[in-house]
């Protein structure tokens, strides 16, 4: 029996303007079944955070960001700080997404700094980790995930974070990990967390799965004891599909 309250998070990436985000959130609030026991998170672009938050102040939906800078403030043209995110209405931030690592060359050391800043500012970090197809086929999954976790969390005391296991080969490809494969990897992540922190912290941390989650694949993933929800990209852009995924948790 899981005691963790699952998280279903929408990662909209570079999609939806502020007015589109507002319409989406309004529809979500109207159509979301009341019996859903899950934390619903929406991560729009920076420019839509404020509008999305304003549209859901009366609901329990939380709005967050897809990235942030690690410094409190400074000469970092084009960057956004944790304080700015909080004032815009964010309560969480996705950190270390594989697109940030691959396309924007973010390192574990940088993600570690971002985590510390997010925690200091009271934002819930969703730390993303995952192996590439090549790493998995070479049997390096355990090594890759544990070294990402260690590098990102080293020296950070047990804290409220969520972990997103997103196999790189499953993101945006339509290839979801099987529920058994994902469960096995989530358990491994939880054991790593226990080693870095302690059993209590590891047991209370939500570990969510990401990578081509659809209304069809979500229910079986959510049934696994160590899968505590999902980080959804493509399918979260459609309110109907996102609601169906959320319903998979019931
Ligand atoms: P996807 O994206 O659901 O489109 O695979 C997931 C993610 O990148 O977080």
Give φ, ψ of 160 to 5 degrees: -80, 110
Please write the tens of the pLDDT for every residue from 231-248: 999 999 999 999 999 999
Locate the DSSP E strands across 18-113. 39-43, 62-65, 92-95
Which residue's CA is the closest to the ligand 1 atom numbered 7?
233
Nearest-atom index, ligand 1, CA of 211: 5
| pLDDT of 220 | 97
3-state secondary structure of 163: strand
| pLDDT of 1 | 56
62 CB within 6 A, ligand 1: no
Nearest to 83 by CA among 68, 97, 96: 68
Ligand 1 midpoint to CA 230 (Å): 9
130 CB within 6 A, ligand 1: no
- Whether the predicted model's global pTM rises above the 0.95 cut: yes
141 vs 155: CA distance, rounded Å: 23
Give φ, ψ of 126 to 5 degrees: -105, 100
Nearest-atom index, ligand 1, CA of 11: 9
211 CB within 6 A, ligand 1: yes
Active-site residues, by number, are 97, 166
Ligand 1 midpoint to CA 74 (Å): 31
Which residue's CA is the closest to the ligand 1 atom numbered 6?
233
Which residue's CA is the closest to the ligand 1 atom numbered 2?
233
Nearest-atom index, ligand 1, CA of 173: 5
| pLDDT of 250 | 74
Nearest-atom index, ligand 1, CA of 128: 9
166 CB within 6 A, ligand 1: yes
- What are 159's two structure tokens? 């804290």
Average pLDDT by stretches of 10, the chain with 250 residues:
90 98 97 91 98 95 98 98 98 98 98 98 98 96 97 96 97 93 97 97 98 97 97 98 94
- What are 59's two structure tokens? 């609901």
Query: Please, which residues have CB within 8 angstroms of residue 146's CB and are 6 or more apart in sequence?
Result: 188, 192
Query: Please, which residues have CB within 8 angstroms of residue 184's CB and are 6 or more apart in sequence?
Result: none
Please write the tens of the pLDDT for every residue from 177-194: 999 999 999 999 999 999
Ligand 1 midpoint to CA 171 (Å): 5
Ligand 1 midpoint to CA 94 (Å): 12
- What are 235's two structure tokens? 């399918």
212 CB within 6 A, ligand 1: yes
């Amino acid at each position: 029996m899981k005691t963790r309250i699952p998280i279903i998070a929408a990662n909209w990436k570079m999609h939806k303007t502020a007015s589109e985000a507002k319409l989406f959130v309004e529809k979500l609030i109207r159509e979301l079944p009341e019996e859903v026991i899950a934390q619903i998170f929406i991560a729009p672009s920076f420019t839509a955070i404020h509008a999305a938050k304003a549209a859901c102040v009366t609901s329990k939906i939380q709005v967050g960001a897809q990235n942030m800078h690690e410094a409190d403030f400074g000469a970092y043209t084009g960057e956004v700080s944790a304080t700015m995110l909080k004032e815009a209405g964010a309560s969480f931030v996705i950190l270390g997404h594989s697109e940030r690592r691959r396309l924007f060359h973010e390192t574990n050391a940088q993600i570690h700094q971002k985590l510390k800043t997010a925690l200091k500012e009271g934002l819930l970090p969703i730390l993303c980790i995952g192996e590439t197809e090549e790493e998995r086929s070479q049997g390096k999954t355990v090594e890759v995930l544990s070294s990402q976790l260690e590098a990102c969390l080293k020296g950070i005391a047990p804290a409220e974070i969520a972990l997103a296991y997103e196999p790189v080969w499953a993101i945006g490809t339509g290839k979801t990990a099987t529920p058994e494969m994902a469960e096995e990897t989530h358990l491994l992540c939880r054991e790593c967390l226990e080693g870095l922190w302690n059993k209590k912290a590891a047991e209370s941390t939500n570990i969510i799965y990401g990578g081509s989650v659809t209304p069809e694949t979500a229910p079986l993933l959510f049934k696994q004891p160590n899968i505590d929800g999902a980080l959804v990209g493509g399918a979260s852009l459609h309110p109907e599909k996102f609601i169906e995924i959320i319903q998979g948790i019931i």
